[in-house]
Structures are given as structure tokens and as C-alpha cells.
Amino acid sequence: MTTSNPAVITRYFAAQAARNFDTLVTLFADDAIVIDEGKTRRGTKEIRAWRENVASLYEYTTDLVSVEAADEGEYVARVHLEGNFPGGTVDLHYRLPSMATLSADWR
């Protein structure tokens, strides 16, 4: 079942697409955890460094395809990326908490 995009998820992907890291980190609680490619980032400093590093390595576009309710208290965001990274295109699925800020474990 597709649901309306929770505002914080929509704002995150808009900030990521614009490479607006100041806005992006305000969407996370100070103790947020993000796990990507087997690496854990803890807190807004590490999350910001992760996003800035990816942006410095690659040029890409991000298309938020859908956001669906998953397990209780979570959403799955389906995202399509195209760019100059290995493979050139990829479809990703992000597991996100459903809260006003992205304060919980994000995989």
C-alpha cells in the first residue's frame, strides 16, 4: 500500500538532491544512526561527512519513486539514482523510521 510521503522523508531527499547539507542534517536527531554499505554513521557530524563525501565523489540525480508503510513505525523509500558511479544506475530501498525527525536506526 503506497502512502503519502511523510514530510521528513520528502525533505531529506529534496535536500540530498540539492546537496544542501545544512538542511539535510537538521532532519536528523543528534543521536541518529545511518547504516549504508555496511558502515555505521552515528550522529549528525558523521551523517553530514558521509553525504558530503558521496557528493564529492560522484555526480548523480536522485528520484524518490515511492514511500510505503512497512513494519509498524517504519517506511520503505524506493529511490532511483543515475550518475557517474560504477554501474551508472541503481534502485535503492531505504528503511526509515516514521517520526518527525530521522532519529532512529536507518538502514
Question: For residue 73, how far is the Cα from the chain centroid?
Answer: 17
Structure confidence at residue 69 (pLDDT): 85
Three-state SS at 105: strand
Instruction: Say if pTM beats, i.e. exceeds, 0.85.
Output: no
- CB 75 within 8 Å of CB 67: yes
Residue-range domain boundaries for the chain: 7-101
- The string of pLDDT tens digits covering residues 41-93 is 999 999 999 999 999 999 999 999 999 888 777 889 999 999 999 999 999 99
Quick one: DSSP state of residue 102? Answer: B
Domain 7-101 - what CATH class?
alpha beta
Q: Quick one: CA torsion of 18, 10, 74, 93, rounded to 10 degrees?
A: -50
Cα separation, 16 vs 4, whole angstroms:
19
- The string of pLDDT tens digits covering residues 14-51 is 999 999 999 999 988 888 889 988 999 999 999 999 99
